[in-house]
Chains A and B, each alone.
Chain A
Amino acid sequence: MLRRRVGAALTGLGAVLLTVAGSRYTTGALRADEARRAWDAARARQAVANAHAAAWNPARSVALVTGAPVAHLLIPRIGLDEIVLEGVDGDELNAAPGHVPGSALPGNAGNAVISAHRDRHFSHFGELHLGDTVTTETLGKRTNWVIVKRQVIDKNAPALFRTDGATLTLTTCWPIRYLGSAPDRLILTAKPIAPRVLD
């Protein structure tokens, strides 16, 4: 009798935990889809606007509102193709990689910082090495990057620094396969190869 009660309790509690985790993952996936649709719509509007403008107008850029899509991140080596949202709070990182507010937009002068969870969008981040390429797209600018620095640092160590030239910093938790709160951070630094204006 006790065995059945314990079994029922464990089954119930396990189902609740699985439901919580599953709903969180589902919410993130739905929001990522929504962000991709919004990004595609913004790209379409941009294309129409570019057809009327002879040159790209830097003032016509995406609005940096928390939760809004601000960039497109592609890393061919690990098959990553994600829309980046503005902000690195729980809701944003649950849905997509997040752009750290206050940092530069990818391709612009300054350090652009993008972070994501190691158990979701950056789950294969550990497979990236020096020399691998990364591509970012903002509205109007596509930039190819090459990873020039890879470091693992303590989670409390200073990691983000302003730079004069265009820099892309990608961060996630380390180790990738770790249960609980990871003690370290994996920091990848990339430099632009050849930025170009999108048609």
Chain B
Amino acid sequence: MSFRRLFVLALVVAMPGVARAQFTTFIPPQPKVVDTAKAATSVATATARVDTTMNTQLTNMKTWVDSAAGVAPSSLTAADSLATATTALTDTTVSTTTTMRNGARAPATASALPLIALLGASMLSVGLLLLAGPRTARDRTAPDRG
């Protein structure tokens, strides 16, 4: 057996061992450590987003805290009827009154119909006068095509 053949045989025998050694160095990933405190916080946040009652309570609580601290609330909740009434007393931008509120303006009973009717009658009268007025000389001299 020549030296070359011995070398090839040695490679054939040794290479799988080398390759195997590559795989035996595989280190499995460590299981993730669950941060229980963080998970609880995220769950609570998601619940608060979905739970409108809790939202309202939080808003009211914030309003109460602000008012207790002497800070004017930045926004009013729709369910606060007392606040709505207070707003009605000072709000002058509402165009019409369609429901009863304390301090609301009288309903908009203004109507444009009389004006429209008067304009229509005037236009009709003037138009008929113009149509029935004296014919011009040109109209009178026009040949009768009947």
Bound CA–CA A8/B102 (angstroms): 52
The answer to whether A155 touches B117, judged by C-beta atoms less than 8 angstroms apart, is: no
The answer to whether A173 touches B105, judged by C-beta atoms less than 8 angstroms apart, is: no
Contact residues of B between 68 and 125, Cβ < 8 Å to A? 88-89, 92, 97-125
Bound CA–CA A175/B108 (angstroms): 14
The answer to whether A160 touches B98, judged by C-beta atoms less than 8 angstroms apart, is: no
Bound CA–CA A18/B106 (angstroms): 29
Bound CA–CA A79/B119 (angstroms): 29
| Candidates B108, B111, B121, B130; contact of A119 at CB < 8 Å | B111
| Candidates A101, A117, A160, A162; contact of B106 at CB < 8 Å | A160
B8 at the interface (CB under 8 A from A): no
Contact residues of A between 1 and 41, Cβ < 8 Å to B? 1, 3-4, 6-22, 24-25
The answer to whether B130 touches A159, judged by C-beta atoms less than 8 angstroms apart, is: no
The answer to whether B104 touches A11, judged by C-beta atoms less than 8 angstroms apart, is: no
The answer to whether A161 touches B102, judged by C-beta atoms less than 8 angstroms apart, is: yes
Q: How far is the CB of A164 from chain B (nearest CB, A)?
A: 12
A155 contacts across to B, CB distance below 8 A? 105-106, 108, 110
The answer to whether A6 touches B130, judged by C-beta atoms less than 8 angstroms apart, is: yes
The answer to whether B99 touches A100, judged by C-beta atoms less than 8 angstroms apart, is: yes
B65 at the interface (CB under 8 A from A): no
The answer to whether B109 touches A115, judged by C-beta atoms less than 8 angstroms apart, is: yes
The answer to whether B100 touches A171, judged by C-beta atoms less than 8 angstroms apart, is: no
Which of B117, B122, B125, B126 has the largest count of A CB atoms less than 10 A from its CB? B117
Q: What are 12 A-B interface contacts by the 8 Å CB criterion?
A: A8-B127, A9-B127, A11-B124, A14-B120, A14-B121, A88-B107, A88-B108, A101-B100, A119-B114, A158-B104, A171-B107, A179-B118
